[in-house]
């Protein structure tokens, strides 16, 4: 099964390059990001039906500006330049780019004299972010639109379109239509990348990759990605060859192990459960430092998977739920950022275990994973649950962990989530949870003095977890949850709500 319609996006360092890929896929056109200086031969091998040059933080005159010869790209496929991509095209094709007197940043309007496609109003609201402007367009190009400042905002030649604004961001009206017109009209591609196609394509990929005598070990976490990976692998290879391991590490939420186990059984996965609560708690005894907690949890997971590897002698693959954003992080011009938290705590797994990796979701975005999850019949309860960190409640009981504190937190968290679901807030929130603070405070309950612990509630909105804002509850809701927690959970006499965005805070408290 071949993907027929593909667009390559050359990343010149914009913060929103990923969005271009997501938007194209929404249109049903498969697209991948490449570094701006990707080898021509590698690009050819991808067989792009169109090429997009992304925006970027540079001026084309910067010493370190990313520059490449564009004619071979134009010879290969129709090209769309966005922002920096437009300026580079103009400069390389003989036009003139200059530093602007006034930087155009944020919301702007463009006035079209000729449209790139139907249905666009003459005046269009767009998002811009650029210091340089096009002073003179190259020969063979026609001017289609200008910005409020009177600078060229859209130009076109036979095989090249270029826009100064960002059609991929939601602040730009009709942006999607411009990408669609480029992909479907200029490039003549077909819109075929949809739920059904993706699921069938992935199943076939798995069957081609894993030889008939080989088996796969698959770690389950209760989250969307690992559930979709396990279900896909099982569907492609049959349950006898896909050994799914679900570990109770004692750091899961209330009833989570049993509930998720039930769902896995319904999905007919070949499930092996491991009760390792005591082992994890022993390893975490007296450990206060969050990174040390993560390391110990990661190492113990590895130990357990190594043991489970003996489930079958023909296990040669490890299934992992790596997604496309993890893959392109290493492609990006921006390079890797400082480690704030070591999130990928099972990273060393395959090397140590001498297994090959199979990552069926590595070309997909999260929303696509959810869509195939639906196609595969995975319950919405799993597909739409909030993200949950690998080290679980270990990073939500602050400081040293005890079973008693974990149980207290489980009760409080359960009440919070229950109320969120009942009130309808749950779906509007990206992630919500309770954490247990290592402080005690004085309270009064009935006629007596209490000296209890504090629960902090956190609820945030976010697109990807990289930045986040706290969620605004009506005060009645917070009052109700606070009362429920202090009434129902022993040892808790104080509830606070976290009103910090990310940055400066992170989402988890540890």
Among residues 83, 187, 218, 244, which one is catalytic?
A: 83
Which residues, other chains included, contact 269 with Cβ-Cβ below 8 Å and sequence gap of 6+?
220, 230, 231, 234, 239, 242, 244
389 lines the binding site for ligand XMP (CB under 6 A): yes
Residue 482 touches ligand XMP, criterion: CB under 6 A: no
Q: In this structure, what token pair is assigned to residue 129?
A: 């972010």
- Binding to ligand XMP (CB under 6 A) within 302-341 occurs at 340-341
Distance CA 162, CA 52 (A): 9
Respond yes or no: is residue 282 known to be catalytic: no
Beta strand 152-156 with 142-147 is antiparallel
Confirm or reject binding of residue 387 to ligand XMP (CB under 6 A). yes
DSSP 8-state code for residue 332: S
57 vs 387, which CB is nearer to ligand XMP? 387
Cis peptide before 497 (omega within 30 of 0): no
Which of 390, 396, 456, 492 binds ligand XMP (CB under 6 A)? It is 390
Secondary structure of 182-241 in HEC code, one letter for each residue: HHHHHCCCCCCCCHHHHHHHHHHHHHHHCCCCCEEEEEECCCHHHHHHHHHHHHHHCHHH
166 is catalytic: yes
Does the protein bind ligand XMP through residue 22 (CB under 6 A)?
Answer: no
Closest approach, Cβ 253 to ligand XMP, in A, equals 13
Cα distances (Å, whole numbers) of residue 428 to 373, 385, 459, 471, 472: 20, 11, 10, 9, 11
Q: Does 502 bind ligand XMP (CB under 6 A)?
A: yes
Among 68-76, 238-246, 382-390, 472-480, which window interacts with ligand XMP (CB under 6 A)? 382-390
Q: Which residues does residue 104 pair with via DSSP β-bridges, in sequence order? A: 130
Annotated catalytic residue: which of 92, 104, 151, 166?
Answer: 166
Q: Is 506 in the site for ligand XMP (CB under 6 A)?
A: yes
- Is 312 annotated as catalytic? no
Footprint of ligand XMP on residues 414-473 (CB under 6 A)? 431, 465
b/e 173-205 (16+ beta carbons within 10 angstroms → b)? bbbbbbbbbbbbebbebeeebeeeebbebbbeb
Give whichever of 93 and 459 is closer to ligand XMP, judged by the CB atom: 459
Looking at 109-117, 386-394, 421-429, 442-450, which segment touches ligand XMP (CB under 6 A)? 386-394
State yes or no: residue 508 binds ligand XMP (CB under 6 A).
Answer: yes
Q: Which is nearer to ligand XMP, 328 or 507 (CB)?
A: 507
Among 345, 408, 486, 493, binds ligand XMP (CB under 6 A): 345
Q: How many CB atoms lie within 10 A of CB 292?
A: 11
Give ∠ CA 343-21-56 in degrees, rounded to 5. 85
Rule CB under 6 A: choose which of 151, 215, 235, 294 binds ligand XMP.
Answer: 294
Q: Would you count residue 507 as binding ligand XMP (CB under 6 A)?
A: yes
**Active site positions, annotated:** 83, 166, 168
Q: Which residues bind ligand XMP (CB under 6 A)?
A: 294, 340-341, 343, 345, 387, 389-391, 431, 465, 502, 506-508
């Amino acid at each position: 099964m071949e993907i027929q319609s593909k667009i390559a996006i050359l990343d010149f360092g914009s913060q929103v390059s990923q969005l271009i890929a997501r938007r194209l896929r929404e249109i049903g056109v498969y697209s991948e990001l490449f570094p701006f200086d990707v080898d021509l031969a590698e690009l050819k091998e991808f067989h792009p039906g169109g090429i997009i040059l992304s925006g970027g933080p540079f001026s084309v005159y910067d010493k370190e500006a990313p520059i490449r010869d564009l004619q071979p790209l134009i010879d290969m496929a129709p090209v769309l330049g966005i922002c920096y991509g437009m300026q580079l095209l103009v400069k390389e094709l003989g036009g003139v780019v200059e530093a602007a007197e006034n930087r155009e940043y944020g919301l702007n309007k463009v006035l079209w004299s000729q449209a790139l496609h139907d249905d666009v109003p003459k005046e269009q609201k767009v998002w811009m972010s650029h210091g340089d402007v096009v002073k003179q367009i190259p020969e063979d190009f026609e001017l289609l639109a200008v910005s409020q400042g009177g600078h060229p905002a859209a130009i076109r030649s036979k095989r090249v379109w270029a826009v100064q604004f960002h059609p991929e961001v939601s602040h730009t009206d009709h942006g999607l239509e411009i990408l669609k017109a480029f992909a479907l009209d200029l490039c003549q591609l077909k819109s075929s990348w949809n739920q059904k196609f993706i699921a069938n394509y992935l199943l076939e990929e798995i069957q081609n990759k894993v030889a008939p005598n080989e088996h796969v070990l698959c770690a389950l976490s209760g989250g969307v990605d690992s559930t979709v990976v396990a279900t896909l692998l099982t569907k492609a290879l049959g349950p006898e060859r896909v050994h799914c391991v679900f570990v109770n590490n004692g750091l899961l939420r209330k009833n989570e192990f049993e509930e998720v186990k039930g769902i896995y059984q319904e999905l007919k996965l070949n499930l092996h459960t491991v009760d390792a609560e005591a082992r994890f708690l022993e390893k975490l005894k007296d450990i206060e430092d969050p990174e040390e907690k993560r390391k110990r949890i990661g190492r113990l997971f590895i130990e357990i998977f190594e043991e489970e590897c003996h489930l079958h002698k023909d296990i040669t693959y490890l299934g992992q739920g790596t997604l496309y954003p993890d893959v392109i992080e290493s492609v990006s011009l921006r390079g890797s950022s400082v480690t704030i938290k070591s999130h990928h705590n099972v990273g060393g797994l395959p090397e140590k275990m001498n297994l090959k990796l199979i990552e069926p979701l590595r070309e997909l975005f999260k929303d696509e994973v959810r869509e195939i999850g639906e196609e595969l019949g995975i319950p919405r309860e799993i597909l739409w649950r909030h993200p949950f960190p690998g080290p679980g409640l270990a990073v939500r009981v602050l400081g040293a962990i005890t079973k008693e504190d974990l149980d207290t937190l489980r009760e409080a968290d359960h009440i919070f989530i229950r109320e969120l679901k009942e009130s309808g807030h749950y779906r509007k929130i990206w992630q919500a949870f309770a954490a247990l603070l290592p402080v005690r405070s004085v309270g009064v309950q009935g006629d007596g003095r209490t000296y209890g612990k504090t629960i902090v509630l956190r609820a945030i909105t976010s697109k990807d977890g990289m930045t986040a804002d706290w969620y605004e509850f009506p005060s009645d809701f917070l009052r109700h949850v606070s009362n429920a927690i202090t009434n129902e959970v022993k040892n808790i006499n104080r509830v606070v709500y976290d009103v910090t965005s990310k940055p400066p805070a992170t989402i988890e408290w540890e």
